[in-house]
Amino acid sequence: DVTVALLPDHPTPCRIRTHSSDAVPFVIWKPGMEPDGVTVYDEESAKQGGYGTIAGHDFIETLFKK
């Protein structure tokens, strides 16, 4: 089985030009996973995705859940 995750290691908003504690956009793909309809990879679009904004530990749990 393969799971693919795409995300940055931290946010660096252009408006402040330094790291911030904002949420980062992410994509998780697993075989058989149904898409949520979001077709753009950016911060605002990711908030509208099936996961919304989740905590880091929830991301890890989702990533490794079978």
Instruction: Write down the mean pLDDT value for the chain.
Output: 91
**Position 55 confidence tier, pLDDT thresholds 50, 70, 90:** very high
Residues 46, 38: contact at Cβ < 8 Å?
yes
pLDDT digits (tens, 9 = 90+) for 6-31: 999 999 988 999 999 988 999 999 99
3-class DSSP state of 58: helix
pLDDT at 66 exceeding the cut of 80: no
Question: Rounded to 5, what percent of the chain is helix, strand, coil?
Answer: 20, 10, 70
Please provide the distance, in angstroms rounded to a whole number, between the alpha carbons at the two ends of the chain: 9
Count of CB atoms situated within 10 Å of the CB of 18: 7
Q: What six digits make up the tokens of 31?
A: 């075989």
Does 58 have pLDDT greater than 90? yes
State residue 31's pLDDT score: 92
